[in-house]
Structure 1
Amino acid sequence: MSKVKCFKNIPLSILDLAPITEEGTARESIKNSVELAKRAEKWGFHRYWLAEHHNMPGIASSATSVLMGHIAGATESIRVGSGGVMLPNHAPLVIAEQFGTLESIYPGRIDLGLGRAPGTDQATSYALRRTLNSSPEEFPQQVAELQHYFKGTPTARVKAYPGQGLNIPIWLLGSSGFSARLSAQMGLPFSFASHFSPDYTLPALKIYRENFKPSDEWKEPYAMVGVNVIAADTEERAKWLATSQQQQFLSLGRGEATPLKAPVEDIHAVASSYEQAALQKSLDPRTTIVGTKETVQKKLQNFLEETNADEIIINSQIYYQEDRLRSYEIVAELME
């Protein structure tokens, strides 16, 4: 029987969706991300990951590797990574070269998290790829091709410069069992999107751990889980701040991607009863933690005991920068 972990003794990391607010700009969003990354490094967070999304007016991290370089250049020691790069949108060679460049500039600090979803709608997928002939089922071959570029083969006609010979950790990301099983088969670390797919967290982790095959890089399974945390000095303010993320989910559910909206006094006034039920399901209280330091501490520990995760990555979609910084500062205080 495995020993019960304490979240104070495992790495805590940050997933930044680089939110663009309804009154803000991408420039301000990126400036805010740099400020958060600097604070996160000082507070002791382990990683700072950015996610690839396209055609979304509320997210400024579409050029993920470019923003990663900007964040890494503004910090000194925190690991910087993609959470993730949507590999079907790109030629594996291009990703090998981009991340080989990042690793060459910031050695020992770069993570490459990979997803198989497009991170956007079908029309934007076509604009990115110029074809829709590729399929998610090709993802395993794309990952293998990417690994090939990093490992290098003397007889290969095409090689990644920079990239070849560099040890860049590859992670697979997922919200179902597909990437859990593939991570296990390839002997890779696995990050599960519990923060928006809570119900399948435990089954996916079970698949991953039971089927894990050791690789040269990873002898044992390593699982990270995502959690939404909106922390504040009072329960009332935390609940009020959380309505921004709730409105974001409402907009996505309506097919109307929007910038991150300011908090509202009553989320029930802007959501139907059906939408409220959907919010409760997607933003499950187990993985969307809203409240004071005491509430966050209790619920983070409960979720860690439920999942036995090796690491937790935290997303905080908060409208006001000072409140977002304070939320992560509260989590950092719990690590002390």
Structure 2
Amino acid sequence: MEILLQELFKTDISLDKFHFRKVYLEDLSYQINGITQSGKSKLVKNYLLGLKKNSYLYIDCDDVRIDIEELNKTLTRFCNQNKIDTLVLDNYKKEIKIPNVTQLIICSEVHLEIEYLTTIQLYPLDYEEFLAYEHKYDSTALNHFFQLGGFASMHKVHSDERNIYIQKTLKYALDEMEFDILILCAKMMAQKLSPYSIYERLKQSRKVSKDKLYKSYESLNTKNYIHLLEKNNHPKATKKIYLCDISLKPALSLDKHFGRLFENMVFLELLKSGIESYYDDGIDFYIPSRDEIILCKPFADERTLFKKMEAIEAFIFSYSIKKVTAITMNREGSVSHPFSKVEMLPFDIWALGD
């Protein structure tokens, strides 16, 4: 194991052109959590390139040459002998014993209960981060975002290979049950879906253990491959389900429903901005902290929005809603309403606005 550590210590880190994210690393110890392809490794490598070459050690714990038992016997001594200040354990395994170093950076899909680590939750690119990969920002950028989604690696994958690329990536990262659940979630994107409903559907085509399915479902949620949205004031009601990235929908399902894809995209922008929201009957997203309702209406006009306002007027009055924002593809405008400010905003203007 000493030979492998020496090899990793001497090997130069390589990184293609790095596009800065909205998060960055300082001289603290971190755990960086995020799904596969969310950019954890690139974020860390870009940071290491700014340090002295002999001050850090980067270990990808998925390296098949690593024997964890031998690594645990060797790593602390190696770090001390080589005066390692910064140790990175990418794709960390909980069986690996952590040595005492000045700066520790752990990358993992799941959150670890290690008190002295500052946690960074890294998601796939949001729309603003995505624009950094575009050669120019014009009216085609949003359509390109719909095609590629938030995985930065997709910019280097040919269009005819994208769906298979995502499938292979997910199959490598997930177990068989998790992958099967994710396929069903892709079909039911932006709809109410319970674990029991998933169980009932899957057991029709295969033998399924309910306990295993529930654990796999919880694992997907914990690792943020799926996100659950609670109903306003009804925590026990069936939750709506959203995918970690819109690119998963076409890769895992033949179902085409642009409205749900658009809604998932709006949800992810709210999530990545740290905005707490809920759904309700006829309400896509209710944001209590802002007394605001978000409606996903990609092709709405003033007339259809006015009719929608009539349908949700009771909610607006009951919750003293100050603002209703209808997110559209490209339409901009406003509707007169006695209780709330009502406006239509194109997605790109809304996503870049805050």
Which protein shows a greater Rg?
2
TM over 0.5: no
TM-score between the two structures when normalised by the length of structure 2: 0.31
Output the TM-score relative to the length of structure 1. 0.33
| Structure with larger RCO (C-alpha < 8 A, sep 6+) | 1
